Amino acid sequence: MALPLVSVISVNYNQAQLTCDMVASLLSTTYPRLEIIVVDNASPTDNPDVITERYPQVKLIKSAKNLGFAGGNNLGIAEAKGDYLLFLNNDTEVSPTFLEPLVQLFEQNPKAGIASPKIIFYGTDNVIQYAGSEGINTWTGRSVTVGYGEADQGQHNHSQATQLADGAAMMVPRRVIDAVGVMPELYFLYYEELDWCEIIKRGGYSCHYVAESTIYHKESMSVGKSSVLKTYYMNRNRLLFIRRNFSGWSRWTSALVFLGAAVPKKAVQFSLQREWQHLRALGRGLRWNLQHASQS
């Protein structure tokens, strides 16, 4: 029986060399049926053609404009031919046998809708970034990640159902996408994969952590760990996620904690550090939600 085709979709933005490193690691994997799709999100200064010059087996899609994380991935979905689609950040490298356990999960469990591998911070002494999720804290609106910052000593080597996948690496069957729809593009950057997890779960499917699969994440290489862009979208979209996915008291308490505690704390921090661009980005994120109060 032939193994199912896996389409790996990755979004590139001004990071062609980084993407080439990811592709090189994918081509060293043991899974025999692999399609690699790279979507260039209108990189302004970095020529993505180097990717296909070096790796002609890669399908390169050039977007005329920056569509954000979800929009870029959705372009890849439209071109993918695989039974299973793996959304992989371009700032990752993978272990050679990481695909087989992910595919096996979906082949054996028709109700599995989305899954992520164990994610290790690249270049560390096996420090964990993701080993499952406890979901979004309804008081704070923050994601609670299992294993974050721990040295990997086998304590999270058990695959299991979990609350949320991780956007750095997540596999979704084509049949699930056909049933629930593509990634929500309203967010542009950050929180869209968490929202998609909730959509998939509401569609009757389960979310999984696959401990036998491992990738290595360089994290925040495209936008920068403390960029103004990140400040804007993280805060704008945290409130947007609350509005779209919480109801009743959970919606009100998480929004109030965010607006009454987290936002003032960040505003004071940015002011004391004279980071005025970040302070303005925080304000723009809140203002966006007020201007789009009916949009959820």
Q: What is the pLDDT of residues 73-128, one digit of tens each?
A: 999 999 999 999 999 999 999 999 999 999 999 999 999 999 999 999 999 999 99
Mean pLDDT of 50-78: 97
Q: Which fold has domain 6-217?
A: Spore Coat Polysaccharide Biosynthesis Protein SpsA; Chain A (3.90.550)
Report the C-alpha gap between 264 and 266 in whole angstroms: 5
Which of 97-101, 184-188, 228-232 has the highest average model confidence (pLDDT)?
A: 97-101
- Does the pTM surpass 0.85? The reply is yes
Report the C-alpha gap between 236 and 287 in whole angstroms: 8
Asked whether the CA dihedral 149, 224, 66, 51 is positive or negative, the reply is negative
pLDDT at 140 over 70: no
Percent of the chain with pLDDT over 90: 69
Amino acid at 227: S
Mean pLDDT of 240-249: 82
Query: Beta strand 112-121 with 206-217: parallel, antiparallel or unpaired?
Result: parallel
Better pLDDT: 238 or 34: 34
- The full set of domain ranges for the chain reads 6-217, 228-291
Q: What is the pLDDT of residue 293?
A: 73
pLDDT at 296 over 80: no
